[in-house]
Amino acid sequence: MPVNEKISKETGASAAAIEHHYGTGNEYFELWLDKTMTYSCAMWDQHDAQQTLDSAQLRKIDYHIEQAHALDADSVLDIGCGWGSVLDRLHTRHNIRSSVGLTLSESQAGWISQSFDHPGMQIRLESWQDHGAPDASYDAIISIGAFEHFARLGLSADQKVGIYRDFFTRCHAWLKPRRWLSLQTVAYGNSLQKDFDQFIAKEIFPETDTPRLWEIFAGSDRLFEVVRLRNDRDDYRRTLRTWFSNLKARRDQAVAAKGEEEIQKFEQYLRLMAYMFEVGGLDLHRIAFRKIDSPK
C-alpha cells in the first residue's frame, strides 16, 4: 500500500525522511546492531556488566510483550516495526495467530519479507495515519522507538499534542475494550529544543522532533490510563555506547560500504546521543497504557 506522503509530510517525518536514515542499507545496520536487528533502546540488567546486546534487546522485547498483555493475544499491531524483531518474537515464542507491522521504510519491509515466513504476519508500508480499521480489533498494540518521528521539527506544542491525540484516538479505536498499548519513546528531559545543534536534525533524523512527557499525556488524557512509567535513560546511554563499540570493531567494513564521511556522522550521532542520555537532556520512557472504554 502506498504511503500517504501528504499526511505524514504535514505532521511527522515523511517516508523520504525515514528512508534517509533507515534506508542507509540493511547490511550496514547488520554490522553494528544485535542479531535481532532491533534499533531502539535495550533493557539492560544493571547487575550484569557482561550482558550481551542481544540478550538486553530480547529482554526489552519481552518486557513490552508483557506490558501490552500480548502473551494471550490473538492479534497484535506493532507501529513502527523496524526490522520485525517484536513480531518475530511473538510468532516464534508466543505462537500468536495474527500480527500487523507498520513501517515507512521500504528497505525494512523488504528485509522482513526475506527473513521471516510466519503465517498470519503482515507487514504494511504504511503510516499509522493511514492505517484503516482492522477487520477485528487488536488485542494489543506495541510501539517502540517510532513515536519520536510522529511530529516534525518546528511545530508548536499545541500542534504536537494534536498529532499525539490523533495517534491515541486511533489506537483507542483499534483496541478491544480494556486492552493495552505499550509505548517506548525518547523525550526531552532537562533540555529545550534550542539546546540541540542542527546536526541531528539535518544529518541524521530529518523532519523529526521528540515529544515532551506532558505532550504525550495531553495526547492520551481520558483515552488511556497510565498504569506504569519507567524512565530508563541510562539504558539508552549503554545501548548507544555498545552500538558505537560494535561500529568501531567493524569500522573498515562500514567505511568500505558507506565512506569515511558517513561513518564519521554516525559516530558523532552515537556519541552525542549517549552524552545527552547520560546528562539527562534526553529521557527514555516506557509507558504501559490501558484503554479507558468510556472516555469522558
Ligand X SMILES: C[S@@+](CC[C@H](N)C(=O)[O-])C[C@H]1O[C@@H](n2cnc3c(N)ncnc32)[C@H](O)[C@@H]1O
Q: Is 108 in the site for ligand X (CB under 6 A)?
A: yes
The residue from 127, 182, 185, 239 that contacts ligand X (CB under 6 A) is 127
Report the residue number, 139 or 148, with the smaller CB distance to ligand X: 148
Residue nearer to ligand X on the CB measure, 57 or 75: 57
Does residue number 121 form part of the binding site for ligand X (CB under 6 A)? Answer: no
Among 58, 82, 182, 186, binds ligand X (CB under 6 A): 82
Residues 52-81 close enough to bind ligand X by CB under 6 A: 79-81
The number of beta carbons lying within 10 Å of the beta carbon of residue 156 is: 9
Helix (H, G, I), strand (E, B) or coil at 242: helix
Tell how strand 75-79 and strand 98-103 pair up.
Answer: parallel
Q: Quickly list DSSP for 18-65.
A: HHHHHTT-HHHHHHHS-TT---S-----TT-TT--HHHHHHHHHHHHH
CB 285 within 8 A of CB 230: yes
Binding window for ligand X (CB under 6 A); candidates: 5-13, 87-95, 168-176, 284-292 = 5-13
Q: Is 103 in the site for ligand X (CB under 6 A)?
A: yes
Q: Which residues contact 115 (CB under 8 A, 6 or more apart)?
A: 83, 84, 88
**Pick 69 or 89: Cβ nearer ligand X:** 89
Nearer to ligand X, 149 or 291 (CB): 149
Question: Quick one: which of 12, 189, 219, 281 contacts ligand X (CB under 6 A)?
Answer: 12
Nearer to ligand X, 39 or 164 (CB): 39
Question: 291 exposed, middle or buried (CB, 10 Å; 0-12, 13-18, 19+)?
Answer: buried
Binding site for ligand X (CB under 6 A): 8, 12-13, 18, 22, 38-40, 79-82, 85, 102-105, 108, 127-128, 144-146, 149-150
